Structure 1
């Protein structure tokens, strides 16, 4: 990856930094470990000459003396803020970053550029009851005869209202309640490849509650993501990976099918790569 040299007209605004993984990988790339602080010491020396005149009967002259003053200054810098830049430099030096998705294997470090949207499960869990009431209220505004409208209103509870064919608000509420309370990211790169990511709110540089209020579901602009590929689209996985033959177990096999359904409905789609993001950022300036 050709990474721009950071200067006054080229800065990186980091939205997400997985400090645990980035620190671990940086320590493996740099024998001395992760730099946490930098100390800079500077000193200036002032030298002055003084003369003393001597006058005795047999000797007359001057004796000079030098006075030296040394001024020193010590500065300590918090190097933790340089961690993502140092990490990118080390990865780039090692030639470990692949640009875009082109048949990458599991474990590949990829740099992708594109658009993204955020899905905050906790926010959806909070608004679903209100969403049901709003949907029911909207039934009163549809262009139906009064008798048909009254009949429809009397039959349907908020949980019975369909938001898509065969999918009711009640089913969505139950499904959302069993999904882990995480931030999901759908990312589409410049070539149309889809990636699904989950991110830890602790490593965001912005309050996660502000994301929905500021951006809604889609964050505008062009974003860069550096991450590890850890799941492949079903079509690619079926071609490249031989599924292991686990022993038959009715309960576990049934649960596996259910979890696969939950994944598709509330997590990574079958046509998306799975990525563990290390850094998410945009260029500014």
Structure 2
């Protein structure tokens, strides 16, 4: 499960991470549909205990869907809590599920768009968003294609980080740190599609403020940089739990024509617009508990109340 000296993770401060890993392993022993059901119920019932995350999600829904009534947003939040719980089962199965993952249905649409992009002898970046089923989708896609995923290392929880990376690599899905530009470019030029999600607030450095769901948001310009450096194509990818809840759907869209545009701002707007399409189609399955609007343009007040800063 871990590499290097295993004794380094045997200290008391790693107890919580070991317990988390043990819990995920136990979840992975359940049949997938049973694991999904158990975790969905837990997500719904335990969500009030995650007060700060619930407040962040509630406030994000308020600013992103001002046209909805309070009752509609609360219903959306309740549905989102189910998918947050389900994500635990999805992570467990992605990391430790073994061959039972092979039996989870996953319908792929628009495969020809990805095939055409790869046939063009240019690297391919898959542009997606932070939807809650991301971990399992990567595992399901990794069954039939080469894939690499860019991620932000979990530096405060190194045991969990290492477990995640090793579990992904065993699929194999290559895991690339967002801080290792050289490795990302090398992987792209080798011909492996690289999954990129630029819909989180990573600060104002290397970011521009453009609308995200109608609200100005610090948006990283990494997609523009990667596309230019690797001379890559960008293929949008959408994914979600199906309506029956017993499988998954993945849709590839045509490669973007004329990207990058030469303007960081226009590129960021384009990227956000694509991710918004997926959010509006399945808003209950998006990761709303992230402070997407943490940083503000100069002179603008905070989006979040002091209690959740």
Same structural fold, with TM-score higher than 0.5 when normalized by the shorter chain: no
Which structure has the highest helix share of the two?
2
TM-score where L is the length of structure 2: 0.21
Higher relative contact order, chain-length normalized (CA < 8 Å, sep 6+) = 1
More strand by share: 1
Q: Highest CA radius of gyration, 1 or 2?
A: 1
Give the TM-score of the pair, scaled to structure 1. Answer: 0.23
